[in-house]
Structure 1
Amino acid sequence: MTDTTYEAGHEPPPAIGFFEKYLTVWVALCIIAGIALGYLMPSFVGIVAQAEVARVNLPVAVLIWLMIVPMLLKVDFASMAKVGTYWRGIGVTLFVNWAIKPFSMALLGWLFIGWLFRPYLPSDQIDSYIAGLIILAAAPCTAMVFVWSALMKGEPNFTLSQVALNDAIMVVAFAPIVGLLLGLSAITVPWDTLLLSVVLYIVLPVIVAQVVRTRLLATGGQAALDRLLARIQPLSLVALLATLVLLFAFQGEQIIAQPTVIALLAVPILFQVYLNSGLAYLLNRISGERHCVAGPSALIGASNFFELAVAAAIALFGLKSGAALATVVGVLVEVPVMLSVVWIVNRSKGWYERGSRVQETR
């Protein structure tokens, strides 16, 4: 039986409410609404799309902050002091997140988008699609990991530790990895815009969230933080859905004109998710890590921080670019695919725990 006792200073994973449970349905409805909005009200959508400063769309930037900050308030960077307790799971997840996933996506993007599907895609957007897939894979998931971990009774302290560690690494590693892989893909890297995206969507939200978190805990304790999270948490999902409506409104004409693009872009994303989650799960079993750690490790190793990916793609290539569309497809694919990974992890627990190394370390 999984131990779900929470140490002092650590909050339990969030309960899965009706809204989160049917997130796939809401995502689908927002996609339909966005496409309809772009088709029926192109003038309004054009005005919103032009509200930019330094290639950063202001309405989308506000929505992305509303998505990111509530999630970052949950992250206790002090939990990184406990990473040694779960050294096998931490090591596997870091290896998959930073040494495998971005590079495997670059390869899958080149294989599927740059070669197999090239005849069926707009030729002037091929490089942009690949760039969007790379950006999507270069940012490990943070926000939704708490939901996935709760669904499979994952070890909460490991999940917190891994999320905190990934956020810290992203601050310094996201821009270099994206720049390296986009350079290898023969795409010009606008470094000033990329660095601006990192500062705007990682560094500043982390600082703001940690300042607010520290002050709340100092003045009102965990109860004060929990009350604030309960009030603002719905903003994160509402902002996500509103962002989807806008992004698909911006992309609506292209989607209607070429509906096969979405399906084709989803293929390498699907391969990437199952490849990396399976690899992380298997490596944890080989190393002898507990199942309640291996599950979140596989989920963290496969999913993406799509809020950051969408923001970076928009800032780098524009709202109506193929890169932005590729990251939006990542949002569409993320929820149902990760739910399937949760199902696989839960159903395979007996097989996992029969592993010789797992039995030795129990």
Structure 2
Amino acid sequence: MGIGLALGHFVPEVGETLRAMEVGGVSIPIAIGLLVMMYPPLAKVRYDKTGDITRDRRLMAVSLVLNWLVGPALMFTLAWVFLPDAPEYRTGLIIVGLARCIAMVLIWNDLACGDREAAAVLVAVNSIFQVLMFGALGWFYLQILPGWLGLTTTSAEFSFWAIVTSVLVFLGVPLLGGALSRILGEHAKSREWYETHFLPRISPLALIGLLYTIVLLFSLQGGRILSSPLSVALLAVPLTLYFILMFALGLGASRVAGLNYARATTVAFTAAGNNFELAIAVAIGTFGPLSGQALAGTIGPLIEVPVLIALVYIMKWIGPRLFPNDSTLPHHIHASSQETP
């Protein structure tokens, strides 16, 4: 993040070059980073297990309620509580709350040893709901609900095709690549070869892609972020609260529903994560690249990345305490929790 901010500030030509390399509103360099980042987790998925996951009604119900009822409502509430006199930033945050996770959540889930198959299924389900519901929910939370509550309304129209494009690029391509890798690898060699030789070789690409993408995101908006420190501070509080509360609600609801460590981890991170690429694209397309709405979306990853990395460590620490003797709890996590300081 620091390197990206420095590049955006001291070498503004980097941002101009990135903006010039867009096709259909999608930044090609950023898209490449996201594809590289998402491919290894999706290549690790056992797609033959997805049927069992979709039949887990507790998992699906908890995730859908958190993502499409609780998440947008919570962000709407936080935006109005903390930004009542900043309509542009408030609207930007509400748009962020509507853009559910489809990208970096796979990395956070993998780092915390969540259920990869469940994460892939939930991300796919969120993507379908996103295409179907984003515009309708935007209309409801930006126009209808404020009117009912006697609040100032905001007029906004969302491009259906912008949402479809984002989903296809940032989920469809790596999902197809991951599925084909497993099918072809296991067919040409064996499952043992695929999981003991191929996967270890491509796994580092996830971290490389993540770091590369973060550098580009912050170099693209570095000048605006550094020139608006007060805006960052105003937006940081509701965003931080949102991530922590959604994670805690996801973990708590999963525990009550009787889910194991791996699936509770997946539910918590898919509830807390957001699709900032889509939120930024929608904000820019609707309100313009220099709008407060676009700035709110841009600041989102600045807060999300460190908060969710911290939550990865918290999950590893709290996991053995919430899920003692759970068979899905990784041995190294369970063992570390038993060490005496």
TM-score of the pair, normalised by structure 2: 0.75
Instruction: Quote how far apart the aligned CAs of 1:316 are.
Output: 2.1
Equivalence map 1:23-62=2 (5 Å): 27-38=1-12, 56=25, 61-62=27-28
Report whether the alignment pairs 1:245 with 2:219: yes
Name which of 148, 151, 165 aligns with 1:200: 165
- Partner residue of 2:136? 176
Q: Contact 2:54/2:121 (CA < 8 Å) preserved in 1?
A: no
Name which of 143, 156, 160 aligns with 1:189: 156
Instruction: Quote how far apart the aligned CAs of 1:171 are.
Output: 2.7
Cα deviation digits, residues 158-188 of structure 1 (max 9, x gap): 2232223222322322232233322245222
Instruction: Quote how far apart the aligned CAs of 1:208 are.
Output: 4.3
Report whether the alignment pairs 1:162 with 2:122: yes
Equivalence map 1:75-224=2 (5 Å): 75=42, 80-84=50-54, 86-114=56-84, 118=85, 126-184=86-144, 186-191=153-158, 194-203=159-168, 206-209=171-174, 212=177, 221=186
Q: Contact 1:70/1:229 (CA < 8 Å) preserved in 2?
A: no
Q: Helix, strand or coil for the counterpart of 1:190? A: coil
Instruction: Quote how far apart the aligned CAs of 1:232 are.
Output: 6.7
Instruction: Quote how far apart the aligned CAs of 1:33 are.
Output: 2.7
Q: Helix, strand or coil for the counterpart of 2:83? A: helix
Q: Helix, strand or coil for the counterpart of 1:100? A: helix
TM-score of the pair, normalised by structure 1: 0.71
Name which of 272, 293, 296 aligns with 2:242: 272
Q: Contact 2:31/2:169 (CA < 8 Å) preserved in 1?
A: no
Instruction: Quote how far apart the aligned CAs of 1:35 are.
Output: 2.9
Q: Give the CA RMSD over aligned residues.
A: 3.4
Look up the equivalent residue of 1:142 and give its one-letter code: I
- Partner residue of 2:331? none
Q: Helix, strand or coil for the counterpart of 2:298? A: helix
User: Quick one: distance in 1 between partners of 2:202 and 2:284?
Assistant: 28
Q: Contact 2:53/2:118 (CA < 8 Å) preserved in 1?
A: yes
User: Quick one: distance in 2 between partners of 1:347 and 1:230?
Assistant: 24
Instruction: Quote how far apart the aligned CAs of 1:230 are.
Output: 6.1
User: Quick one: distance in 2 between partners of 1:52 and 1:144?
Assistant: 21
Of stretches 150-159 and 272-281 in structure 1, the one that deviates more from structure 2 is 150-159
Q: Helix, strand or coil for the counterpart of 1:348? A: helix
Counterparts in 2 of 1:352 and 1:175: CA distance versus 1, 3 Å: same
Of stretches 63-72 and 324-333 in structure 1, the one that deviates more from structure 2 is 63-72
Task: Specify every segment of 5 or more residues in structure 1 that has no aligned partner in the other structure, as ranges.
Answer: 1-26, 119-125, 356-362
Q: Contact 1:65/1:201 (CA < 8 Å) preserved in 2?
A: no
Look up the equivalent residue of 2:221 and give its one-letter code: L
User: Quick one: distance in 2 between partners of 1:28 and 1:289?
Assistant: 38
> Sequence identity, in percent?
25
Look up the equivalent residue of 2:231 and give its one-letter code: V
Look up the equivalent residue of 2:157 and give its one-letter code: P
Counterparts in 2 of 1:243 and 1:340: CA distance versus 1, 3 Å: closer
Q: Contact 2:3/2:215 (CA < 8 Å) preserved in 1?
A: no
Cα deviation digits, residues 33-65 of structure 1 (max 9, x gap): 323344xx6xx86787688888x4xxx622342
User: Quick one: distance in 2 between partners of 1:45 and 1:350?
Assistant: 44
Task: Specify every segment of 5 or more residues in structure 2 that has no aligned partner in the other structure, as ranges.
Answer: 147-152, 326-341
Displaced runs of 4+ in structure 1, greater than 6 A?
Answer: 50-54
Instruction: Quote how far apart the aligned CAs of 1:263 are.
Output: 1.0
Q: Contact 1:63/1:243 (CA < 8 Å) preserved in 2?
A: no
